[in-house]
Structure 1
Amino acid sequence: MSAKTLTASRSADAALSCPLWLARLLPFTRWWPMVNRGTLRADFMAGLTGAVVVLPQGVAFATIAGMPPEYGLYAGMIPAIIAALFGSSWHLVSGPTTAASIVLFSVLSPHAEPGSAQYVSLALTLTFLVGIIQLAMGLARMGTLVNFISHSVVTGFTAGAAILIATNQVKHFFGLEIARGSSFSDTWSALFSQLDQVQPGVTAVALLTLLLGIAVKQFLPKWPYMIVAMLGGSVAAAALSAWQGLQLSTVGALPASLPPLSAPALDGESIRAVASGVVAVTLLALTEAVSIARALAARSGQHVDGNQEFIGQGMSNIAGAFFSGYVATGSFNRSGVNYAAGAKTPLAAMMAGFFLLLVVLLVAPWARFLPNAAMAGILFLVAWGLIDFKEIAHTVKTNRSEFAIMAATFAATLFLTLEEAIIIGVLMSLSLYLARTSKPQVHVRAPNPHNRKRKFTDAAHAPQCPQLRFVRIDGSLFFGATAHVREKLAAQDLAQPEQKHVAIIAHGINFIDMAGAEVLASEAQRRRRAGGGLYLIGAKDRVQEQLAENGALKAIDGANLFDSKTDAIAEIYRHLNRDVCRTCSARVFRECMPTQVEPASHPHPFIPAGAQP
C-alpha cells in the first residue's frame, strides 16, 4: 500500500470514528479528519474552477427567475458554504439552478413585477419558507424517501441532465440566436434549421476549448484542465478578434459587491402569495439535490445520508434568505464541475462559495473578456463526463426491466420537467418492486435420492411422498402476494390431490401481514377438514410472532411449527394414512422402512437434521 493510500485510509478511519451524536449535530466533523495537504490542493483547484464557472450561470439563472442579475451570484455564495457544512455529500454544490429558477418565476410572477423590490421580497420569503420545511423534514428523519430513487433512475436522470447541460449551451457553442428557456427538442430543431447561420469563429473557440480541456485532462492530469481550457479559449477569442476583427459575446462585466443583508417578509399577505408554491418548490429542490448527491456518490463510492442532506439544504436556504439569495438547491452544473475538477471533500464547495465572493469583488469586471463560447466548451466536457456509459452498457446486458426504467427516466428528463422525470422513474421502480414481491417463489421440494446427504431439490427431479408435500416459499407474505400464493397452492393440489399434508419450508419468509396470516390460517383449516394438515418448518421468531399477533397461530396450531425437517417428518409421519404407506414404493423417509436396516456403505434415505433445502 502506498503512503498516499495509507494516509487516505487512516483519514477515512478517523472520520468514521467520530461520535454519532457529534456527527449529527456538526456533520462536518465526520469528514474534516480526511483533510490533508493532498485534498487541500485538489479542493482548492476544484473550488476555484467552480467559482469561475458559476459567473455566467448565476447571471443567467437570475434572469430566468426574474431576479436582478447579481442575485444569481449571491445565491451561489453563502448557501453553498452552509449546505457543504451541514450536508452529507462530498461533492454536491448548492446554488441557483434552471429548474428552481423557472419554478420560482412561475410562482411569483402572478403576484409581482419580475425584478421589482416586491418581487425580490417575495422571493426571499419563499426561500425562507422552503428552508424551514426542508429543515423540518430532515429533523423528522424523512430522508428515507430518497431510498425510493433506484440506481437506474439516478443513472438515467444523470445522463438526461448531462444532455440538458450541453443542450443549454448549444447557442453559445455555435453562435446562434435561440430563445432562452427553449426545450430540448426546440433547441436542437433550431440548430438544424439554422446550420447556415453557424458562426465558424464562435464554434472554433468553443471546439478549441473543449479539445484543450480533453488534452490537458488526458496528458497533464495534475493540471487544472478546466481553468487552462477557459484561459486558452479566452486567448483564442482575443486572437480572432485581433486577426479577423471578430467580436464574440462574453459573460460581461458583473457588479463588484458582496451580498447585502436581507430579511424575508413574513406578513400574512406575503405568506399567502407564496404559499401555493412552497410545497412544489420544496419537493423539487430536495429531489434535485438528493438525486445529484446520490449520482455523484455512486461515482465516488460515498454514502449519502438523506436526512442530513435535507437538513443541509434547509439551513442553506434559510441562510440565503438573509444574504440576498433565492431558492438554492443542488446544481448539476456546479456539482459536475466540482467532481470533474477532482474535489475530495466538501471543503471544495465551501471554497467555491468563498472564491465566488472574491471573484465578484476582484475579477467580476474582467468577466467581459471571458467568451460564452469558451464556457460552452467547458460545459460540453462536463456533460460528457457525467454520463456513465459503463453502467448503462452493463444494465442493457443484464437487466431489461432496469434498463426500461433508466431509459424512461432519461427520456422524461429531456422532454418533461426534472421533477416529473424523477417521479416517473420512482413510480416505475416501485411498480417493478411490487411486481417482484407480489410473486414470491413457491416451489415443491423433495429429498434428492442422488445426493449423499439427501439435500432437498426440485420435486420434478426426485420422488415424492404421495401424502406429504414440501413447499418452499421465498418472499414476504403480504396483501399483494396472497393471491399468487393461493393460486400456486391450488395448482399443486390439482396436480397431487392426495397430498393432503403440506409442510411449508419457511426459512425464506421474512414478513407476514394480516392478509398473509389469514391465508395460512385458512389453508390449515381447510386441510384439517380434508384429513390433512399444514405445518411450518424453520419459521423465524419474528414470523411466529406476527402469526400470533394476527391470530393465525391458533388456527395452524403451535404444535405444527418445527425447527428442523427431521423433527417435522418424524411427527407428520404419525398422521399419515398407513394403508397408503404399505403400498407406497417411493420410500422417501426413514420412517417409511422401520423394519429394514440398510448397509452402512449406502447413504441412508433420510434427510439429516440441519440439511438445507
Structure 2
Amino acid sequence: MNPSRVNFNSPRKFRTTLKSKCKETFFPDDPFRQFKNEKPLGKAKKTLQYFVPIFEWLPQYNFKIFRFDLLAGITITSLAIPQGISYAKLAEIPPIIGLYSSFVPALVYTIFGSSKHVAVGTVAACSLLIADIIGSKVSSTDDPTLYLHLVFTAAFITGVFQAALGFLRLGILVDFLSHSTITGFMGGTAIIICLQQLKGLLGMKHFTTKTDVVSVLHAVFENRHEWKWETAVVGMAFLVFLLFTRYLRQRNPKLFWVSAMAPMVVVILGCLLAYLTFDSKHSIQTVGHLHKGLNPISIKYLNFDTEYLPYTLKAGIITGIIALAEGIAIGRSFAIIKNEQVDGNKEMIAFGFMNIVGSFFSCYLTTGPFSKTAVNYNSGCKTAASNFVMAIGMMLTLLFLAPLFSYTPLVALSAIIMSAMVGLINYEEAYHLFKVDKFDFCICLAAFFGVAFITMDMGLMISVALALLRALLYVARPAACKLGKLPDSTLYRDIEQYTEASSPPGILAIQLGSPIYYANGNYIRERILRWIRNDESISHANGKAVKHVLLDLTGVTSIDTTGIETLVEVLRMLEVEDIKMKIVNPRQEVLEKMMRSKFVDKIGKETIFLCMEDAVEASYDFSVLKEEQGREEQRSGVA
C-alpha cells in the first residue's frame, strides 16, 4: 500500500490567513456570493435589497399576496391592542405607550425586516426587566416623567446596540444566551409575572416594587385586607376563558383565531363591565384616560445624564440581547418550517432601526414576540407587509378608538398577561434537557431560580456564567480518546465506544478532539503520558511494550505556541523512553504553525501521515508481530 502524501507546501502569508479567519468569523454565511459576476448597477441593486429587504419583495407584490397579509395584519392587530396595554402596565409606563409601540416600529420593520413571519411588538419579559432595572434608580410613581424618559433612552440604547451588532456582524454575542438559559429565564420570568398580576387580579392598591417570589407573596398576604372578591371573580372568569381558548387552539390548530381574538374579547367585555359599574361601590379599577392622537415626538426627552446612564445602559443592553435572542430564534423557527432562511445579522439591523426610530416617537423596546408571530404565521402571512397592516390598524385605533379603551379593567389586563405567561413555562423542554444533558438542565435551573428568587438580571447572569464555565471546561479539558482498529476494516475508532476495536501491538493511537491552547496544554500532555503509563503497565503483563505513539490531530482545528511547546515536551519525554511519536492528519493551520516553529524539522516529515492506517503500517513492529505469532503457534502445539 502506497501511503498518501501530506501537503508540506509553504505556509500561507499572514494576510491570506487573516482574510480567511475574518471571513469565517464574521461572514460564515458568505453574504457576498450574490454579488459575484454582477455589473456595478446590479451590485448596487443587490446592496440596496440586502440592507432594505422591502425592495426585494415589493416589486413582485400583488393583490393576491396582499389578501393573506391583510387577514394576518387584522388578526395580529386584535392581539396587539390588549397586549400593548398589558405589557406597558408591566413596564410601569402609561398604557398608551404600549399602543404607540405597535405603530411606528411595525412600519420600520416592514421596510427593514427580512423575516416574512415575524410580527413585532412589546414582550413581557423585557417590559418587566426594564421596570426592574430603571425602577431601582427612579420610581415610576414618584417621578413618572423622568422614569418614562429613561425608558425611551433605554430603547434608544437598545437600538444602537442591536444595529451595531448587525453591521459589525457580531451576532456571536447573542449565542452566549444558550437554549437552556433562555428556557430557564423565560420560565422564571413567567412565574414572577404571574405572581405580580395578583395585584390586579385581587384589586389591590399597594404592592411591592421587588420582583422576587418571596417579596411578591409577602406583599400579597400583607395587604390581604385590600382583596376584593368582586375583582377576583371577574379576573378568574376572564382567565378561565382565555385558558380555554388556548386549549382549543392546542387541540385544533385551525382554531388559532379563537385564541388570537380572545384577549380583545376580554378587553371589550371588561370595558362594558367597567362602564356599567363605574359609579357603583363595586366599581373595578381601569387603566384611565387614553387620549387620541399619533405618537408624539420624544427625541428631545432622551436623557443621557451620567447619574442615570449606567441604568439605561444596563437596561438597554440586557434587554437588547434578550430581545434579539427571542426575535431571531422565533423568526428562524418559523422560516425552517417553510424551508426558508432568515439572516440573523439583517434582523439585528432591522430590530436596531426599529428601536432607534421608536425611541424618537414615544415607543419603548419592541422585538418579535412569540405569541404574535405564531398568530401571524397561522393567519397565512406572506410578507412583512402584515406588519404594515397592523401599523395602519394601530394608527386608526390611536386616532379614533383609543378613548374607548380607557375603561379597560386592570383585572382584564392581569388575566391576559397571566394566560400569555402559561406558554412561557416550558416544562416539557426542561424535562428534555434533564434527560439529554444534566449540565444544561442545571443551567436552566440556575436561570429559573435566579430570576424567581433573586432578580431577573442576576438570574440571567448566573446562568450565562455557568454556560461560559462549561464552554471554558470544554477548552481546558478537551475530548480525547484511545483508538483501536475495527475488525475486518481499516477504520480506527474509540475503543470505549467500540469495544470490539483493538489496539495494534506496540502502538498507542490517540485522537485529540479540540484546539490545543495554553489553557489545555498541560492537560493534554498529562493525558497522553497517563495513557502511555497505563499501556506500559499492561505491556509488562503481556510483553507488548509501547514502541509508537500516534497522535490523530484531525479534530485539532487550531494550535498556539503553547500547544506546540506541549507537543515538543511530549516528543522529548517519549524519546527518553525510546518511543517514537507520529502525527496523523494535521489540518492546514496546524501544519503551517508546526512548520513555522520548526516542529516538523524536529519530528521529521517522514513521521507525519495523512491517515491512521498509513501511520500504523509505517510504525508497525514486525518483531512483535512475529513474537505474537510464535506464541500462538506454541499454544496451538500444546493444545
**TM bin (shorter chain):** 0.7 to 0.9
Q: CA deviation at 1:355?
A: 2.8
> Structure 2: any 5+ residue segments left out of the alignment?
1-32, 36-44, 537-544, 634-639
Mapped contact 1:290–1:330 kept (Cα < 8 A):
yes
CA distance in 1, matches of 2:312, 2:410: 34
Find the partner of 2:566 among 516, 519, 523.
519
Q: Which residue of 1 aligns with 2:236?
A: 207
Q: Does 1:477 align with 2:509?
A: no
Find the partner of 2:592 among 545, 549, 555.
545
CA distance in 2, matches of 1:440, 1:513: 15
Alignment map for 1:387-402 (pairs within 5 Å)? 387-402=425-440
CA distance in 2, matches of 1:388, 1:75: 27
Q: Does 1:330 align with 2:367?
A: yes
Q: Which residue of 2 aligns with 1:286?
A: 320
Q: CA deviation at 1:45?
A: 0.5
Find the partner of 1:143 among 171, 177, 197.
171
CA offset digits 1:161-190 (Å, max 9, x no partner): 222332332211222334263423222233
Q: Which residue of 2 aligns with 1:603?
A: none
Alignment map for 1:211-230 (pairs within 5 Å)? 211-217=240-246, 218=248, 221=255, 223-230=257-264
Find the partner of 2:118 among 59, 67, 91.
91
Q: CA 1:463–1:256 in 2, change beyond 3 Å: closer, same or farther?
A: closer
SS of structure 1 residue aligned to 2:255: coil
- AA aligned to 2:51 is L
- AA aligned to 2:432 is H
> Which TM-score applies when normalising by structure 1?
0.78
* Cα RMSD after superposing both structures: 4.0
Find the partner of 2:534 among 484, 492, 495.
495
- AA aligned to 1:320 is G
Q: Which residue of 2 aligns with 1:158?
A: 186
CA offset digits 1:131-153 (Å, max 9, x no partner): 44443332122222111111111
Alignment map for 1:426-575 (pairs within 5 Å)? 426-448=464-486, 451-453=487-489, 455-456=491-492, 458=495, 464-497=503-536, 498-573=545-620
CA distance in 2, matches of 1:389, 1:98: 22
Mapped contact 1:92–1:349 kept (Cα < 8 A):
yes
Q: Which residue of 2 aligns with 1:172?
A: 200
CA distance in 2, matches of 1:446, 1:38: 60
CA distance in 2, matches of 1:206, 1:119: 29
SS of structure 1 residue aligned to 2:399: helix
Mapped contact 1:50–1:338 kept (Cα < 8 A):
no
Q: Which residue of 2 aligns with 1:81?
A: 107
CA offset digits 1:566-603 (Å, max 9, x no partner): 43233324xx595x665445999xxxx9xxxxxxxxxx
Q: CA 1:551–1:423 in 2, change beyond 3 Å: closer, same or farther?
A: farther
- What is the aligned residue count? 558
SS of structure 1 residue aligned to 2:163: helix
SS of structure 2 residue aligned to 1:496: helix
- AA aligned to 1:199 is K
Q: CA deviation at 1:416?
A: 4.0
Q: CA deviation at 1:534?
A: 1.0
SS of structure 1 residue aligned to 2:118: coil
Q: CA 1:464–1:143 in 2, change beyond 3 Å: closer, same or farther?
A: closer
CA offset digits 1:233-274 (Å, max 9, x no partner): 6537756986996311122221112223354379xx956565
Find the partner of 2:374 among 339, 347, 350.
339
SS of structure 2 residue aligned to 1:97: helix
Mapped contact 1:438–1:480 kept (Cα < 8 A):
yes
Q: What's the % identity of the aligned pairs?
A: 22
Q: CA 1:182–1:491 in 2, change beyond 3 Å: closer, same or farther?
A: closer
Alignment map for 1:12-161 (pairs within 5 Å)? 21-28=47-54, 37-58=67-88, 61=91, 64=92, 70-71=96-97, 73-83=99-109, 85-87=111-113, 90-91=117-118, 93-95=120-122, 97-104=127-134, 114-115=143-144, 128=156, 131-161=159-189
Q: CA 1:436–1:198 in 2, change beyond 3 Å: closer, same or farther?
A: same
Q: CA deviation at 1:108?
A: 6.8
- AA aligned to 1:300 is F
- AA aligned to 1:570 is E
Q: CA deviation at 1:222?
A: 5.0
- AA aligned to 2:552 is I
> Structure 1: any 5+ residue segments left out of the alignment?
1-15, 594-613
CA distance in 2, matches of 1:193, 1:467: 76
> Which TM-score applies when normalising by structure 2?
0.75
Mapped contact 1:124–1:324 kept (Cα < 8 A):
yes
> Relative to structure 2, which stretch is displaced further, 202-211 or 87-96?
87-96
Q: Which residue of 2 aligns with 1:259?
A: 295
CA distance in 1, matches of 2:150, 2:535: 72
Q: Does 1:315 align with 2:353?
A: yes
CA distance in 2, matches of 1:54, 1:587: 83
CA distance in 2, matches of 1:378, 1:123: 23
CA offset digits 1:350-395 (Å, max 9, x no partner): 4444433322222221113322222222222211122323322211
Mapped contact 2:574–2:581 kept (Cα < 8 A):
yes
Mapped contact 1:47–1:348 kept (Cα < 8 A):
no
CA distance in 1, matches of 2:559, 2:163: 35
Q: CA deviation at 1:305?
A: 4.3
Q: CA deviation at 1:311?
A: 2.0
CA distance in 2, matches of 1:207, 1:561: 73
CA offset digits 1:446-498 (Å, max 9, x no partner): 335xx233644529766655533222223332333323322221112222344
CA offset digits 1:301-356 (Å, max 9, x no partner): 6566443343223322332343244x524386xx5455357565644544444433
SS of structure 1 residue aligned to 2:423: helix
CA distance in 1, matches of 2:226, 2:299: 47
